[in-house]
């Protein structure tokens, strides 16, 4: 089953019911921790709080290096604003 964040639904598909709120999940995190949550709309796989308290969202890097083992995936951390901008560009 696909899950969508409140922020994705409000920005891109207000008819779609949302499953979780990124800000609420973030508020429960301690610094330098993360929670695995997938938002199919934005394409992230986790919400994290940096040591400095910044909200970051993790996405799997699409072009995986050949020397990485099959059980691993590289991720990159980006801000919610970056995900919104990328999604706007993808939809236009």
Show me where the domains of the chain are located. 6-91
pLDDT at 61: 83
Q: What is the mean pLDDT of each run of 10 residues along the chain (92 residues)?
A: 93 96 98 97 96 96 68 85 91 78
pLDDT of 72 reads 67
Residue 67 is predicted with a pLDDT of 65
User: Can you read off the two tokens belonging to residue 78?
Assistant: 């980006």
């Amino acid at each position: 089953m696909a899950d969508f964040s409140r922020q994705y639904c409000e920005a891109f598909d207000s008819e779609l019911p949302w499953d979780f709120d990124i800000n609420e999940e973030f508020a429960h995190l301690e610094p330098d921790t993360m929670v695995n949550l997938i938002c199919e709309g934005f394409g992230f796989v986790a919400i994290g709080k940096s040591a400095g308290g910044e909200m970051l969202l993790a996405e799997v890097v699409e072009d995986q290096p050949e020397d990485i083992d099959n059980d691993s995936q590289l991720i990159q951390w980006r801000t919610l604003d970056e995900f919104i901008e990328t999604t706007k560009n993808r939809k236009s």
